Amino acid sequence: ELKLDIRIDLVSIPYNRDFGTADSLRLIKDKIKNDVLVLSCDTITDFPLKRLIDFYRIHNPTLLALISSIPYNNENSIPGRKGREKIEKDLIGIDAQNGDRLVFMSSEADFDESVSFSVSMLKKCPQMTIKSNLLDAHIYLLKKWTLRYLEENT
């Protein structure tokens, strides 16, 4: 038996706007009092979340994202896919000197033909590997102060 003191506050996101994760966090930032675990509402995984939380507690990163290899080569084998719809890939930048450090993550659909990086980012991480064969699981652990960063960098 677990004795947990959990307060659940249900907040609806405007349905007439295309809110991403960062937009949703900006909307509810005043309700978040501590570091936060973000799970997409349609996440299905067998990855043990306790392992992710333990890693976060031990290594104390600003942001921890669960990323996996794309499990299927056949586009039609992905559950829920109908027809020949193109799979939207994630572009994920990993620090070349520290393979565990995520430095960039965005959907391929967010860019036309090229990806731009700020000079300050390239100074902080001059060598990175951009991968398109990884999948963002939409499970994140992040420090509370990152909400202020999201607000300031809309």
Q: In this predicted model, what pLDDT tens digit does every residue of 66-118 receive, in sequence order?
A: 998 876 555 545 555 555 556 678 889 999 888 888 998 888 888 878 888 88
Number of domains the chain contains: 2
**How many degrees, rounded to 5, is the angle at CA 147 between CA 114 and CA 62?**
75
pLDDT of residue 35: 95
pLDDT of residue 84: 54
pLDDT of residue 62: 94
Q: Which two tokens stand for residue 144?
A: 């509370």
pLDDT cut 90: percent of the chain above it: 34
pLDDT of residue 48: 93
Q: Summarize the confidence of residues 7-36 as an average pLDDT.
A: 87
pLDDT of residue 140: 95
Expressed as residue numbers, the domain containing 143 is: 18-70+133-154
Chain centroid to Cα 26, Å, comes to 15
Average pLDDT over the chain, rounded to an integer: 84
Q: Summarize the confidence of residues 107-135 as an average pLDDT.
A: 87
More confident of the two residues 84 and 139: 139
Q: Which two tokens stand for residue 98?
A: 């520290």
Question: Same structural domain for residues 137 and 65?
Answer: yes
DSSP three-state, residue 100: coil
Question: Same structural domain for residues 60 and 29?
Answer: yes
Question: Same structural domain for residues 127 and 149?
Answer: no
Residue 33 C-beta-side C-alpha neighbours within 13 Å: 3
pLDDT tens for 42-63 read 888 899 999 999 999 999 999 9
The predicted model scores a pTM of 0.76
More confident of the two residues 78 and 130: 130
Question: Same structural domain for residues 93 and 125?
Answer: yes
Residue 78 resides in a domain? no
Question: Same structural domain for residues 105 and 139?
Answer: no
Residue 13 resides in a domain? no
